[in-house]
Amino acid sequence: MKVLALILSTSLLYFSVLQLSRAADTISAAQSITSTNTLVSSGQSFELGLFSAGNSEAWYLGIWYKNFPTIVVWVANRENPVADSHGSLKLSKNGSLVLLDQMNNTIWSSTSSQVAEDPVAQLLENGNLVVREKDKTDSESYIWESFNFPSDTLLPEMKVGRDFRTGLNRFLTSWKNASDPSLGEYTYGIDNLTLPQLVVAKGSKKLFRTGPWNGVQFSGTPDSGNKRVVKPIYVYDTNEFYYMYEVAESSILTRVKLSETGLAQRLVLNEGSTEWAVMYTLLNDRCDNYRECGANGICRTSKSPSCECLQGFVPKAQNEWDVLNWESGCIRQTPLDCQKEAGFLKVRNVKLPDLSEFWANTKMSVQECEAECLRNCSCVAYASSDIPNGGSGCLMWFGDLIDMQEFLEEDVEQDIHIKMPFSELGGTGKKDKRVILISVISAVSVLPLLALLCWCILLKKRGRNVSTSTGSRSIKEDWELPLFDFKTIATATNNFSHTNKLGEGGFGPVYKANLTREEFIAVKRLSKDSGQGIEEFKNEVTMIANLQHWNLVKLLGCCIEREERMLIYEYMPNKSLDCFIFDQNRKVLVNWQKRLNIIMGIARGLLYLHQDSRLRIIHRDLKSSNILLDDELNPKISDFGIARIFGRNQTEAKTKRVIGTYGYMSPEYAIDGKFSEKSDVFSFGVLLLEIVSGRKNRGFHHPDHHHSLLGHVGMVTVE
């Protein structure tokens, strides 16, 4: 048996500093900071001194949290370290900070166009090291400040962006590695002067971008859903443009760190805690990859495969898309013709395309924006640039639409309107009066036919209701499965309210329902837009009605009324496994013992399906979102919509319709459509790696290669 060992290493910071005998928060030109003392902020939150990282013999001037001395938030001499611990920081008479080595050679110095008469250096409570006149304390009088020269950490009230008056451009730069704070390969800051957006880049290559500021937030940053923690601030005027944030609650500490591998993470420390939690990581999902779906494609994390062409577009190279290579992007199915009328397709809740070819006017209304885009033959899409002010402002795109992503959050209200020929819009939009007149005359002439058609539909609907009732009786007779009426379910789910929604899969949405004050159920409702249909519904009813095991979700009944198809399950209060192992705050709730219990429970359920149940079942879609957790975090396998029954002596089957989730599929199933017990075992192996590592297989990133988590583990095992 091969064993995968996960080794966690921690880089240590060695300090040659001792606490000052007095609580100093300033130094004057007559004082200095040496290797035997530190400068401490007035509120005792931060310290400044010399440190050495890891096994390195180089020493640096830095600022760190006093209570977390291994977390360095700023480094002065990143490219020119002191050879040993015998260094000193002095403040010159004109207001320059100077770092000297043992031989009094200048290692680093602050630069400023201003000269001070009576300067002092002060480490502020927010971690900002400033030089100011002794009798002035306001921020406008700072001669120099460390916040203007960020390292790899963005603290509250620290800015990223440009100062037009001085030409200063503030951005984060990663460390080279955990033992070397010199400039690394990755940066995090604002690009595009006309309409700024936050970007993570490796050199000149974009890796991730947020999308432009829309008056509330950068459309692609998770900060919008964390208003309890941070308050984002964006300023753009004649003097400067910048982004910064403030802490919403004083009891919370938070910072943004750009790691040496290019991951930008927001970390949070709650009051009373000693462990920093990762609130979110930018570039954490495949859809976060810049230009993941190529030109005119959109990435949807809720679907598999995640890349789709926008409506009205088709893959430019279908053979490449067939093997999940989306780099070539999409092209219009029907090219735009400036001589013919066009309309707009509204795409909701998206990260707006990149701003490579665009035009912006903040004074224009949305109605004027639409009219202008229609008049301009080169315009392909438009959107509002300022959501709070009634959706005012105008953005127009020309050429290809690059790096679009769909968001599932309801508070993301950013929409885009894509110009389309009327033929691609089903004939909707503005038409000339002649066409409207002809339509009215035609409508009047066919009214008798419409009346007859409505009568036929009513008769057909009655017949279908009779057929449905017959089908319901058949289900009840065959499986003795309880039937729920639609009215009861609608009432229990508060008429399928969004607040009762637990999630959504390929089958459709799942809702929490209250039958009584103490009795809860989960209702899975077949969506009309679902890729699955009646066959999958019948299949799941057939499967689960005949399966009884502690580690399989229990089917309580179903609802078949009119066009409705719903499955009623036992309610799982902790939702699915992915809500824990991939969530930076909740994963601490599943320690190693609980993870082992979850793994063993899934294995027992799978063994029952393959060997011990009356029906031998191949699940075909085993993944973290299909593992539900009860109130004690016991796992239950769910979603049998695409499962298949195997005969006792059957070893393999083949299908032309490969459905499931990429990243969990075995190679022989994804490529040739062949599936067996081994297919589920392969999926279980991927799931096992995700549970142990806490990383998604398809969302895994490594700076040295582009493999998934599975490929990375394979490389490590070989090495």
pLDDT digits (tens, 9 = 90+) for 148-171: 999 999 999 999 998 888 889 999
Average pLDDT over residues 128-157: 89
Domain locations in the chain as residue ranges: 12-148, 150-284, 291-424, 463-570, 578-718
| Confidence (pLDDT) at 282 | 83
Higher pLDDT, 696 or 41: 696
Task: Judge whether residue 447 has pLDDT over 80.
Answer: no
Token pair in block for residue 703: 């700076």
| Confidence (pLDDT) at 458 | 56
With a pLDDT cut of 90, the percent of the chain lying above it is 32
Average pLDDT over residues 297-308: 86
Task: Judge whether residue 420 has pLDDT over 90.
Answer: yes
Q: 492-512 burial by CB neighbour count: b if 16+ within 10 A, else e? A: bbeeeeeebebbbbbbbbbbb
Average pLDDT over residues 35-51: 78
Cis upstream peptide for 448 (omega within 30°): no
Task: Judge whether residue 12 has pLDDT over 60.
Answer: no
Q: Mean pLDDT: which of 213-222, 291-300, 582-591 is highest?
A: 291-300
Q: Could you give the CA distance from residue 267 to residue 68 in angstroms, rounded to a whole number?
A: 13
Reference 422, options 310, 342, 315, 524; nearest CA is: 342
Q: Mean pLDDT: which of 227-236, 374-383, 474-483 is highest?
A: 374-383
| Confidence (pLDDT) at 206 | 92
| Confidence (pLDDT) at 118 | 84
* Contacts of 393 by beta carbon, 8 Å cutoff, 6+ apart: 215, 360, 361, 362, 363, 364, 369, 384, 385, 386
Angle of the 677-693 helix axis to the 709-718 helix axis, nearest 10: 80
β-strand partners of 32: 90
Task: Judge whether residue 75 has pLDDT over 60.
Answer: yes
| Confidence (pLDDT) at 657 | 79
Average pLDDT over residues 282-297: 88
Q: Using 50, 70 and 90 to split pLDDT, how confident is the model at 373?
A: very high
Q: 198-221 burial by CB neighbour count: b if 16+ within 10 A, else e? A: bbbbeeeebbbbbbbbbebbbbbb
| Confidence (pLDDT) at 222 | 64
Is-contact 314 330, C-beta < 8 A? yes
| Confidence (pLDDT) at 87 | 87
| Confidence (pLDDT) at 414 | 80
Task: Judge whether residue 22 has pLDDT over 50.
Answer: no
Q: Could you give the CA distance from residue 352 to residue 608 in angstroms, rounded to a whole number?
A: 47
With a pLDDT cut of 70, the percent of the chain lying above it is 79
Average pLDDT, the chain: 80
Q: Which residue has the tokens 């462990």?
A: 275
pLDDT, tens digit (0-9, with 9 covering 90-100), for 571-592:
998 889 988 898 877 888 888 9
Q: How many CB atoms lie within 10 A of CB 358?
A: 21
Q: Which residue has the tokens 């290579």?
A: 325
Q: Using 50, 70 and 90 to split pLDDT, how confident is the model at 446?
A: low
Q: 3-state class of 309 per DSSP? A: strand
Task: Judge whether residue 710 has pLDDT over 80.
Answer: no
**H-helix or E-strand spanning residue 685:** helix 677-693
**H-helix or E-strand spanning residue 89:** strand 88-91
Task: Judge whether residue 543 has pLDDT over 50.
Answer: yes
Give Cα 701 distance to the centre of its chain: 14
Q: Establish whether domains 150-284 and 578-718 are of one fold.
A: no
Average pLDDT over residues 412-430: 74
| Confidence (pLDDT) at 310 | 94
Length of the chain equals 719
Q: Which residue has the tokens 């033929």?
A: 423
- 537: exposed, middle or buried (C-beta count within 10 Å: 0-12, 13-18, 19+)? buried
pLDDT, tens digit (0-9, with 9 covering 90-100), for 495-522:
888 878 887 776 778 899 988 767 789 9
| Confidence (pLDDT) at 338 | 83
β-strand partners of 395: 360, 383
Higher pLDDT, 708 or 428: 708
CA torsion, ordered 644, 645, 650, 653, to nearest 10 deg: -20
Q: Does domain 12-148 have CATH number 2.90.10.10?
A: yes
Put the strands of the sheet holding 144-145 in their side by side order.
26-28, 119-123, 129-133, 144-145
Task: Judge whether residue 334 has pLDDT over 50.
Answer: yes
| Confidence (pLDDT) at 356 | 75
Q: Report long-range pairs for 164-173 (Cβ below 8 Å, ≥24 apart).
A: 164/238, 164/239, 164/240, 164/241, 165/239, 165/240, 166/113, 170/242, 172/256, 172/258, 172/264, 173/258
Domain 150-284, CATH: 2.90.10
DSSP strand pairing (88-91 vs 501-504): unpaired
Higher pLDDT, 581 or 431: 581
Give Cα 132 distance to the centre of its chain: 41
C-alpha to C-alpha distances, 534 to 540, 565, 620, 637, nearest whole angstrom: 10, 8, 18, 21
**H-helix or E-strand spanning residue 465:** helix 447-479
CATH topology of domain 578-718: Transferase(Phosphotransferase); domain 1 (1.10.510)
CA neighbours within 13 Å on the CB side: how many for 116? 26
Task: Judge whether residue 11 has pLDDT over 90.
Answer: no
What single-letter amino acid sits at 178?
A
Q: Using 50, 70 and 90 to split pLDDT, how confident is the model at 33?
A: low
Is-contact 392 398, C-beta < 8 A? no
Domain 463-570, CATH: 3.30.200.20
pLDDT, tens digit (0-9, with 9 covering 90-100), for 160-200:
998 888 889 999 999 999 889 999 999 999 987 667 889 99
| Confidence (pLDDT) at 416 | 92
Q: What share of the chain is helix, strand, coil (3-state, %, to 5)?
A: 25, 30, 45
| Confidence (pLDDT) at 525 | 87
| Confidence (pLDDT) at 292 | 92
| Confidence (pLDDT) at 631 | 85
- 32: exposed, middle or buried (C-beta count within 10 Å: 0-12, 13-18, 19+)? middle
How many degrees, rounded to 5, is the angle at CA 438 between CA 434 and CA 442? 170
* Contacts of 58 by beta carbon, 8 Å cutoff, 6+ apart: 52, 81, 82, 83, 180
Active site residues: 621
Average pLDDT over residues 11-32: 42
Q: Which residue has the tokens 């209060």?
A: 573
Task: Judge whether residue 300 has pLDDT over 50.
Answer: yes
| Confidence (pLDDT) at 618 | 92
| Confidence (pLDDT) at 437 | 45
pLDDT, tens digit (0-9, with 9 covering 90-100), for 666-691:
888 888 889 999 999 999 999 999 99
CA torsion, ordered 577, 578, 583, 585, to nearest 10 deg: -10
